[in-house]
Structures are given as C-alpha cells and as structure tokens.
Amino acid sequence: MRQSNRLTASAVKALIANPPAKAAYTPDGHGLYLQRSPAGAASWIYRYKLFGREHFVGLGSARIVTLAAAREKADEHRRLRAGGIDPLSQKVGARRLAKHEAEHRITFAAAAAKYIDLRRPEWSASNLDAWEGSIRLHAKAIARMDVRHIGTQDVLRVIEPLWEAKHATAVALRQRIEAILDWSKSHGYREGDNPAAFEGHLQNLLTKMKERTTHRASIDWRAMPAFAAKLRAAEGGVARLVEFLMLTGARSEEGAGATWKEIDLKARVWRVPAERMKAKVEHWVPLSAEAVKLLKGLPGERGPDDRLFDSAMGKQIANSVQRDLLRKLGYPKEDASIHGLRSSLRTWAVESAKANERVAESLIAHDTRKEVQQAYERTRFFEDRTPIMAAWSRYLDGGNVVPLDRTRPRKAA
C-alpha cells in the first residue's frame, strides 16, 4: 500500500457519510489522518512523535477543509519539524498572538470616543461638541478602520476635500486625528509614525495655503465700560482671569498660565518670561491699581509656582472656557472674543488716549523689530505704558480719559 496520498476525495466523502461504531482514524500518509466519531463528526489531524511522545495537531473539519488543503497543512507541519520547530507549540503561539491582536484592535471611531472621554472633564461643552461633531461629520472614511491600518493616504482622503474649501475645519480635524492616533499608539493599538503629523510629513503633501489675516471679533472701545461692569458682576475664577486680561492686554495663554513668581505687587509689574510669550521675548506689564486690587483679592495659595487663576479642578483655564464666559454674558462670537479685548485696548489707546502708534503696539506686546533688538528691551516703552494702563483702568470704571501729553520726551525705540 502507498505510504502517502492513500485517500481520495470520493473516499473521504463516503467515510464522512458513514460514521463508525467507535472513534476511527483513517491514515492518508506521513502523519495525516481523517478522524471520525460515532456522532458523525469528521476532522483532519496531523500526528507526530517528539521525544518519544505522540502529539497531534487539529487541521480543521473534514466537511470544510478539503483533502488537498489538509495535505498542504500537513506538509507545512512536516517542514516545521524538519526545521526543529514543534508544530503544536507553533500553533499555540499563533493562537496566543491572534488573541493578543484581537485584544489590541480598535476602530478609529472607538479610539476617538475613548480619547474624548479621557479629556471630557477638562473640556468645555462647546469644545466637546466641536470634537464630537468634527469626527462624526468629517472622519467617516476612517471611522470603521482599525487604527493600526490607518496610513497617510487614509488621512489625506479625509483632509484633502476640506483643505482649501474649509481650511480652518481641515486644520482642526487633522490635529484631532493626530491626537487620537497618538493616544492609540500609547495604548499599544498601533505602531510607527503618526500619519496625521503635519511637520515634515503632511506639509509636504498638502497645498501650501496663503496666510490669511483674520480679524477676531472685538468690542468697540466705547462699549468696554459696560462690558467691564457685566464682567465684574460675574463670579468665579474664569471671570477674574478675563478681567485680568482686559486690564493688562495680555493673551489668553499668558494670563491663564501666569504664576505668582512673575508678579511683583510692590513694584506693580508683571514680568512674563520669554518662554511663555508668543515672540519668545520677556515682556514687562505695568499693573494698574485696579489690577493690583484684583490680584490681592484672589483666593488660594500664593507659592511661587502656583497659578494666579485655576479651574475648579485645579487646572489651567482653557481659552474655550474663557470664550464660553463671553457667551454667558450675552456677547455672541460675532461681537466679542477673548483676543479681541486686546484690540479694544489698542484702538482705545490710539483713538481716545492719543497714544503713539508704537507705544500702543507695545501695550499688547506687538513688536516687528528684529529678534536681537527685542531681546534686550523687555521693558520697551514701560514708562510710557504705565500711565496708559492706569488711564485704561479708570476708563473701564466709567471715568473720563484725558489725552496723554504727546510732547513729553520718550525713550528712543
């Protein structure tokens, strides 16, 4: 009798149709057997000996796996044995790997939901809605994809249709996808570089957009005293932060991240370190009497590294939370923005206080000179800015402002 390929497809079909009285093993040769049971079950097994002990590996149901396919599987196991590998251990390892991969598999939509849940406590309602809406509306093409399979072309499929028509939407969406894929990598759901990264990657594949000048909504300076009254009537740390920004002309991040070591109440100056300034140049802000009063009335610890303003959870107050306060005070996004408070101050300084244009620019830390010149003048126009900020504070309280004496000598720029 032949030592291999003893069975035929028709013979296998007949054997399966006639269950044995007790378990039976019909050899095909070289370790391949058709295993049958009295209940009618039939499957392929590969039997072999290792270190004097017999082992067998299941190759699947004979009703599904054909004789030819069973022989191929048996040949694979024989090759493993020839290479010094135990086929059974190999199968167990493969099963464990498959289980591990299944446990570390997640769709982009599921990853997005988990990331958003992680950030939910620190986000405002509007920021949360923006994230959920952005992913739901614009990331449909990758929503059901396993995050480990998402590549550059998949990200481009989502971003490119929006890149020129709705550029701001596309930019925000790309940043969100990048954050979600970074989260996925940290949790072991994917490996390798982030295909949504912009610097050195997508910037080379997407059309370079011209810088667009955007004018953020600002309150007319004539209406600022009414705004200040509403703001001061509001309670809480967010209101006090926005009031501080209004009094100092600082950017949102600069005020939200301010610590007590930057404040000198006696000298009435706020020294913002270079690393926290947009231009990376140290900036000194004169504090009016009203600003000093506000700071002295703040609750909490006053250690050097303690922030002046914190959220209810002890975290830095986000720009979105500050923006939400404006909406609660009755100012829609078309009429007011946190950044717009700076514009209100600057316009008032020129139109009402008759300040020099360059001094007005320095009130909001705008300086177009070369970086080397900026670095050595952190107190630029400080003496000129001090009375202006005091006058601004009085104006917000409803007082009249007398134009500054423009004939008074000033330091050279």
Distances (CA, A) of 101 to 93, 120, 245: 12, 28, 50
What pLDDT is recorded for position 400?
A: 59
Domain 221-396, what fold? hpI Integrase; Chain A (1.10.443)
Which has the higher per-residue pLDDT, 202 or 300?
202
Mean pLDDT, rounded, for 240-255 = 94
The amino acid occupying position 78 is R
> Of residues 66 and 99, which shows the higher confidence score?
66
Give the pLDDT of residue 99. Answer: 60
**What's the pLDDT score for residue 381?**
85
pLDDT band at 88 (very low <50, low <70, confident <90, very high): low
Question: Predicted confidence band at 412 (pLDDT cuts at 50, 70, 90)?
Answer: very low
Q: Which fold has domain 9-103?
A: Double Stranded RNA Binding Domain (3.30.160)
pLDDT on residue 413: 37
Over residues 119-165, the pLDDT tens digits come to 988 887 778 888 999 999 999 999 999 999 999 999 999 999 999 88
408 has a pLDDT exceeding 70: no
Average pLDDT of span 196-214: 79
Give residues with Cβ within 8 angstroms of 367, minimum separation 6.
279, 281, 361, 374, 380
Q: Is 94 exposed, middle or buried (0-12, 13-18, 19+ CB in 10 A)?
A: exposed
Predicted confidence at residue 49, as pLDDT, reads 78
Torsion sign over Cα 320, 321, 325, 328: positive
pLDDT of residue 131: 92
Helix H or strand E segment including 60 = strand 53-61
Q: ∠ CA(113), CA(116), CA(120), 5° rounding?
A: 135
Residue 231 has pLDDT above 90, yes or no: yes
pLDDT at position 115 over 80: yes
Average the pLDDT over each of 52-66, 199-213, 362-376 and give the range with the smallest value.
Answer: 362-376
pLDDT digits (tens, 9 = 90+) for 159-182: 999 998 888 889 999 999 999 999
* 291 band by pLDDT with thresholds 50, 70 and 90: very high
The DSSP H or E segment spanning 356 is: none
Please give the Cα distance from 298 to 74 (Å, whole number): 78
Q: Residues with Cβ < 8 Å from 310, sequence gap 6 or more? A: 237, 300, 316, 317
pLDDT in tens, 345-365: 999 999 998 988 888 888 888
| Token duo for residue 124 | 């405002």
Largest CA distance in the chain: 119
Contact 388, 349 (CB under 8 A): yes
Taking phi over 0 as left and psi of -120 to 50 as alpha, with beta for the rest, 151 belongs to: beta
Ordered by start, the domain boundaries in the chain are 9-103, 108-204, 221-396
Output the six-digit token pair for 233.
Answer: 């009537």
Give the confidence band of 2 by pLDDT, cuts at 50, 70, 90: low
**pLDDT for residue 278:** 79
State yes or no: pLDDT of 373 exceeds 80.
no
Does position 109 have pLDDT exceeding 90, yes or no?
A: yes
**CATH number attached to the domain at 108-204:** 1.10.150.130
pLDDT of residue 409: 40
pLDDT for position 85: 73
Q: What confidence tens digit (pLDDT) does each residue in 251-288 have?
A: 998 999 999 999 999 999 999 998 888 777 888 999 99
The answer to whether 325 and 198 are in contact (CB under 8 A) is no
Question: Could you give the CA distance from residue 28 to residue 11 in angstroms, rounded to a whole number?
Answer: 11
Residue 14 pLDDT > 50, yes or no?
yes
For residue 53, what pLDDT is reported? 74
pLDDT at site 181: 96
Tokens of 284: 């000194």
Give mean pLDDT, residues 240-250.
95
**Number of other CB atoms surrounding residue 313 within 10 Å:** 7
The predicted-structure confidence for 33-65, as pLDDT tens digits, reads as follows 999 999 999 999 988 877 667 778 888 899 999
Residue percentage of the chain with pLDDT more than 70: 85
- Residue listed under structure tokens 């550029």: 167
Alpha carbon distance 234, 328 (integer Å): 10
Q: How many degrees, rounded to 5, is the angle at CA 284 between CA 289 and CA 349? A: 65
Q: What is the mean pLDDT of the chain?
A: 85
Residue 55 belongs to what H/E stretch?
strand 53-61
Q: Which tokens belong to 176? A: 């969100």
How many CB atoms are located within 10 Å of the residue 360 CB? 24
Most confident range, picked from 119-123, 193-197, 400-404: 193-197
